[in-house]
Amino acid sequence: MIRRRARGFSSLELAVCLTVMGVVAVAMSQAFSGAGEQARRARALADAEVAREALRTFALRELRLPCPDTSAAGDAGLEGGGGACPDDVQVGWLPYLALDLPLPEPAARLRYGVRRDGSSDLVAPTPTAFDGPGAGRLGGLRAALGEAGTAAAGVGHPYFGADDGTAGATACGGPAVANPAFVLVAPVDDRDASTDAPAGFDGPNRAFARGAGLCTAPPSRAPDAGYDDVVVAEGATTLLGFIAASTR
């Protein structure tokens, strides 16, 4: 029997093998990266929904919505940053401790906006003549929500910008699409590579996060290559309906 001498890989075979291994490694890396991004966004959405429920509970208990936390990085976790809440404060950090929520690490903190305007000031609603004890004192909040729900959309309060039709971008320079009773913005990854602080917020939410604007992307905006924030909001009419159902 003639024995053949075993031979090694040729240069071509080795090159093909290394190429295939590289493609597999890249595919696996992208799969794990995509899964990680989805998990982070799911966590941000869950955090925002928990905050929404905490705001609803606060409204039922305190007969108003809380003032934003105005401390520099949201470290205080308290309304007004632990101090007074001026009438013109509509945007800040979510006041976690005032809502009986644990204060998360800075990169995971939510930005919070609330409508404030005279008869539709949801932080300091004017009591009505019909307010009585207990749940009956909800008259002021109900009246403020009713006023907010029927008012025309404007740029003087936290608002959603319109989609300008280009790559899912949000046009904040145009007219307001809607003014929610409150809005929450949760950052995920810094997809647009902005150097603006605080980090993580994308698109129009960057200005909202640093207190330089009242416009946010609408909750319906889908993530893309340059945007992955989570926006959760409650309309005045929806919040009024929740309160009515909860106090029957």
List the beta bridge partners of residue 185.
Answer: 111, 231
Whole-angstrom distance, CA of residue 114 vs CA of residue 66:
8
Q: What element of type H or E holds 185?
A: strand 182-186
Average pLDDT, the chain: 85
Q: What is the C-alpha to C-alpha distance for residues 157 and 230, in angstroms, rounded to an integer?
A: 20
Q: Is residue 2 part of a domain?
A: no
pLDDT in tens, 25-78: 544 444 445 678 889 999 999 999 999 999 999 999 999 999 999 999 999 999
Q: Is the pTM value of this prediction over 0.85?
A: no
Identify the pLDDT of residue 161: 84
- Per the domain annotation, does 96 fall within a domain? yes
Neighbours of 56 (CB within 10 A): 18
Q: Which domain holds residue 171?
A: 11-246
Greatest extent of the chain over all pairs of C-alpha atoms, in Å: 110
Q: How far apart are CA 19 and CA 29, in angstroms?
A: 15
Q: Judge whether 1 lies within some domain.
A: no
Would residue 206 count as lying in a domain?
Answer: yes
Residue 196 has pLDDT above 60, yes or no: yes
Q: Is the pLDDT of residue 16 over 70?
A: no
Bond prior to 198 in cis (omega within 30° of 0): yes
- β strands within 1-157, DSSP E: 91-93, 111-114
pLDDT of residue 32: 43
- Backbone angles phi and psi of 159, in degrees to 5: -145, 165
Confidence of residue 133 (pLDDT cuts 50, 70, 90): low
Domain membership of residue 139 (yes or no) is yes
Is residue 3, in this structure, part of any structural domain at all?
no
Q: Is residue 5 part of a domain?
A: no
Q: Between vectors from CA 182 to CA 178 and to CA 184, what angle results, nearest 5°?
A: 100
Number of domains into which the chain is organized = 1
Look at residue 95 and give its three-state secondary structure.
coil
Least confident of 138-147, 162-171, 172-181, 227-236: 162-171
% of the chain with per-residue pLDDT over 90 = 61
Whole-number Å distance between alpha carbons of 145 and 125: 9
